[in-house]
Every structure is written in structure tokens, then in C-alpha cells.
Amino acid sequence: MMAAIRELVEKDVKPAHIRNELVDSFMLSIDAVRALKQIQNFVYNYRRSTMKNTDVVEDMEEIAAGSQLSDDLPDTTPFTFGYPLDEDGVPELGDGSDDDPLVIGITT
């Protein structure tokens, strides 16, 4: 069942629809499926940890730092670009406000 949930999360299906899909696919009663809040928590954590799907600035800085453009990257590796680096080579991303926008380019 967890594999089915992961597959639906990767297709960007919303938690309520995931719950309904579990009931329909596995022919379960609604009471036999985990509570919606549990599914929401799983979806949030799976997207954030496994899929690196986040809108938190600190998380984006970590992702950008780990995937900076360099000459030794294979052609099939995604990379980030378009942001200034501080003296330690750490990305300086904005905070997302109008005065300090967060601008980053990502390729696949």
C-alpha cells in the first residue's frame, strides 16, 4: 500500500485523492484506510525528504549548494545556477520578498 501512496505522491496527487484512491484500488472500507491527517503528513515528509520538493529558503540553499554548476558534472546531472555566492562558496539566495527576491535557475 505504501508503494501505491509513493507512486501517487510522485504524480502530484493530493492527499484526499490518495485516500480515496486507496479505498477504490484496494477495495477497502473508508475506516480501514489511514486518517487523512496521517496521509497528509506522509505526503509532506515524502515530498520534502525524498523528492526535495520544498519552498523553505534554507532547504533551497542546501539543494543549490549541493548541485552547483561545475565543469566535472556529467551531461545528465541536473544543476543550479544564477545566484551569487558568498566568500565561502555558499549560495546567497534572497528571502522571497519584493526587496530581496529568491531567484534560482534549475535544469534537468
pLDDT at 36: 96
pLDDT along the chain (108 residues), means of 10: 94 96 94 95 91 74 83 87 86 83 74
C-alpha cell at 46: 515524502
Q: Is residue 57 part of a domain?
A: no
H-type alpha helices, 1-108: 2-10, 15-25, 36-49, 57-66
**Would you state the torsion angle of the CA atoms of residues 7, 36, 24, 33, taken in this order, to the nearest 10 degrees?**
100
pTM of the model: 0.56
Q: Is residue 56 part of a domain?
A: no
Same domain, 70 and 102: yes
Give residue-wise pLDDT tens across range 84-105: 888 988 888 888 788 988 777 7
pLDDT at 51: 79
pLDDT at 108: 64
Phi, psi of 69 (to 5 degrees): -65, 130
Same domain, 38 and 75: no
Q: Is residue 83 part of a domain?
A: yes
Q: Is residue 59 part of a domain?
A: no
Domain carrying residue 33: 2-49
Q: Is residue 55 part of a domain?
A: no
Same domain, 14 and 45: yes
